[in-house]
Amino acid sequence: MTQSANDSQENPKSHPTSNAEKDPGDWTTGNEPMTGAQASYLKTLCEEAKEQFDDTLNKADASRRIDELQKKTGRGSQ
């Protein structure tokens, strides 16, 4: 039996050395200020969740906060 092309390809997120999804605490730029895109999305999520927006978060903390608020609001879930 032969493998199809899809069967032989690995999911990049499941590969142990993949950078596709890294913990924000491991980001080399995690201590930099959050990006404009993060700030914009975070503001939207905060409004929907009726929570305070913190404009002092760094990239890593903003990413974690986005994850929390996505769970609370149901955004980002598939």
Model confidence pLDDT, tens digit, residues 41-51: 999 999 999 99
13 inside domain: no
State the pLDDT at residue 53. Answer: 98
State the pLDDT at residue 25. Answer: 79
Number of domains in the chain: 1
Range of the domain at 47: 30-78
8 inside domain: no
Hey, what are 61's tokens? 């903390």
1 inside domain: no
18 inside domain: no
The answer to whether the CB of 74 falls within 8 A of the CB of 49 is no
**Mean pLDDT confidence for 13-40:** 79
State the pLDDT at residue 24. Answer: 87
Of the candidate ranges 16-25, 38-47, 55-64, the one whose mean pLDDT is the lowest = 16-25
**Mean pLDDT confidence for 27-53:** 95
